[in-house]
Amino acid sequence: EVQLVESGGGLVQPGRSLRLSCAASGFTFDDYAMHWVRQAPGKGLEWVSGISWNSGSIGYADSVKGRFTISRDNAKNSLYLQMNSLRAEDTALYYCAKAKGEYGSGSYYFESFDDWGQGTLVTVSS
């Protein structure tokens, strides 16, 4: 059974940093692209960032480009999101999601997200 467990969320002041982690199990982690998707309270889904299986293809939403960095450690079956210069509008539940792999693409996109964690809440407030 696929399990994705996010951690690292919390209350942080504007301008500060936070690092999210996603521990993966139940599948061959280094076979799949991975993503972060967020959802502000009462709002819709917003894709944040994605990374291919070998970290060779990485993408970011315009809203976080230059502030957030996605990475993965295939030896530890873990995905990370380093979030710097946090803003109030970054307040959201952050989900880790696994790409389905239906195309076997070497890119971070093209594929749907077939497994999701339960999310970790990030609150940016003074």
Partner 1 sequence: DIQMTQSPSSLSASVGDRVTITCRASQIISTYLNWYQQKPGKAPKLLIYSASSLQSGVPSRFSGSGSGTDFTLTISSLQPEDFATYYCQQSYSTPGFGQGTRLEIK
The answer to whether 58 contacts partner 1 (rule: CB under 8 A) is: no
Question: Which residue matches tokens 């002041």?
Answer: 13
Find the binder of partner 1 among 34, 53, 95, 120 (CB under 8 A): 95
Find the binder of partner 1 among 55, 77, 110, 123 (CB under 8 A): 110
Name which of 23 and 45 has its Cβ closer to partner 1: 45
CB of 56 to partner 1, least distance (A): 16
- The tokens for 38 are 């967020």
The answer to whether 80 contacts partner 1 (rule: CB under 8 A) is: no
Eight-state DSSP code of residue 102: S
Name which of 23 and 61 has its Cβ closer to partner 1: 61
The answer to whether 61 contacts partner 1 (rule: CB under 8 A) is: yes
The answer to whether 62 contacts partner 1 (rule: CB under 8 A) is: yes
Residues in contact with partner 1 by the rule CB under 8 A: 35, 37, 44-47, 50, 59, 61-62, 95, 100, 102, 109-114, 116-119
